[in-house]
Amino acid sequence: MRKTVSLLVLSAAVPLGMALGCQAVLGIEVLEESPAETSSDGGADAASEAMPDTSGSSDVSAETAADVEVVDAASETVPPFDASTEGGSCDPECPTLGLARPPCKPAVADSPSLPEPLLFAVRTMMTGMNPDHPDEWLDLGLDLDCLFTDEQGQPPSCIPAPDAGSKQNGKDGHQGRDNSFGSNIGAKVREMTKVLGKNYEDSLNKGLEVGFRGILLEVGDYNGEADDPNVWVTVLSAGGTVDDGGNYVKPGWMGKDVWTVESSNFQAGSFEPLFKSTQAYVSGRVLVAKMPSGLPLTVSGEAAGLKWTLDQTTVLFKMDPQHTYLTDGVIAGVWPAALAADSIASVLASIGTCPDDPGSKLIEPLIADSLDIRDKAVAQPQLDCQAISVGLGFVGMVARRGPIIDPAPAKPDPCAKDAGADSP
């Protein structure tokens, strides 16, 4: 049986008090309500009404992982992953050394797998939107186009949009990391959050901490060693953490938390995931997976959520020898211009700014200023840029996989002609 890794992309709580300007910059899309308040004993008060009822839901797997002894990350010596020195000459897509590329597939024979899959929950994310760490975007993501574009925009990966505010919008982070989302959109968010007194990234991580929604990574068919040439990876959306009765509870982050999985992740009539990689591997305890195009990543909160739909996506993270926590997590991909514009338009619609309103004019310049890469993530300096590069970071802790739930129903379109119309 081949190995399985599931990246369950969950969402995190953000405060309701985000002003229109900040929401427009974020590309926020209204998804569903999150818990307004969580009780200190891990139970639910108002939060239980926001969470779907999972009692009686079917479980994807026959049994959950066994209890584990969680190792304190600080007590373990895990060398940090250095993408700039791990990748390079053995990568046929990019033989250039010194760029932030994933480690290459290990030249070892396959070996027997662990008896049960491993599941991890993302506890903290780094998005490049934190005003307390304005330069963090420089170390998020990977080099995607085998090119190091400097602060003068040279050499360019593609031709910037003609109405872009600057020809240097495509400058790379450290070791050629492509992350225009963090550099350009993130910069606007950082400026807005300073003015509003709201730290969007901190709010997101508070939502992850209480387990309303978040990111899960399931690793299966893995031999448990530092190197494994064959791992199967699946990316899913999930709900939150629940108790044995299907009620929402805060996670304890000690390896026993049960996370729900949304039914929208699977092909109709089966448990076959819609997004999976069949050619993933582990090299030096770093798991690397290249995901199919159209990978949906959603971060939702009390009133709205940010949704990326990424192509050319690489997911990687480093596991400790006891498989109890993750470090150096990376999600790197390209966000096609049209999909980015749709997400931002959804934000504006969610706060009552419809396509015929002046506020919708924010979309075009925001996209134009952020385009830095081709949709195939290959440098083609003679052609127009088509997408926005995205780099995210994360760390995580071991968890359990729970029941399947239906996603929350979509909210009415506030820009529909009859939406919100007054009765005659």
Which of 38-47, 94-103, 320-329, 350-359 is most confident?
A: 320-329
State the total domains in the chain: 1
E-only strand ranges, 227-360: 228-242, 258-262, 276-283, 286-291, 295-300, 305-319, 325-336
Is 416 within the bounds of a domain? no
* The one-letter amino acid at 140: L
pLDDT of residue 72: 46
Domain range enclosing 130: 5-39+82-405
pLDDT of residue 88: 53
- pLDDT, greater one: 422 or 191: 191
pLDDT band for position 277 (cuts 50, 70, 90):
confident
- pLDDT, greater one: 295 or 55: 295
pLDDT tens readout for residues 306-342: 788 999 999 999 999 999 999 999 999 999 999 998 8
Overall pTM > 0.85: no
Of 37-41, 93-97, 216-220, 418-422, least confident by mean pLDDT is: 37-41
Question: pLDDT at residue 217 above 90?
Answer: no
pLDDT tens readout for residues 177-194: 999 999 998 898 888 787
Question: pLDDT at residue 60 above 50?
Answer: no
pLDDT of residue 206: 82
pLDDT tens readout for residues 112-135: 999 988 888 888 889 998 999 999
Is 424 within the bounds of a domain? no
Lookup result for tokens 């076959």: 272
Is 353 within the bounds of a domain? yes
Query: Mean pLDDT for the chain?
Result: 77
Is 415 within the bounds of a domain? no
pLDDT tens readout for residues 363-384: 889 899 999 999 999 999 999 9
pLDDT of residue 214: 73
Paired with 259 in beta bridges are 241, 401
Cβ(119)–Cβ(309) below 8 Å: no
Q: What is the mean pLDDT of residues 143-168?
A: 87
Q: What is the mean pLDDT of residues 239-248?
A: 84
Neighbour-count burial of 71, counting CB atoms closer than 10 A to its CB (0-12 exposed, 13-18 middle, 19+ buried): middle
- Return d(Cα 342, Cα 332) in angstroms, integer: 20
pLDDT of residue 300: 62
End-to-end CA distance of the chain: 64
- Return d(Cα 54, Cα 334) in angstroms, integer: 34
- Return d(Cα 332, Cα 288) in angstroms, integer: 11
Q: Is 174 helix (H, G, I), strand (E, B) or coil?
A: helix
In the chain, the percentage of residues whose pLDDT exceeds 70 is 75
Is 295 within the bounds of a domain? yes
Question: pLDDT at residue 411 above 80?
Answer: no
Is 45 within the bounds of a domain? no
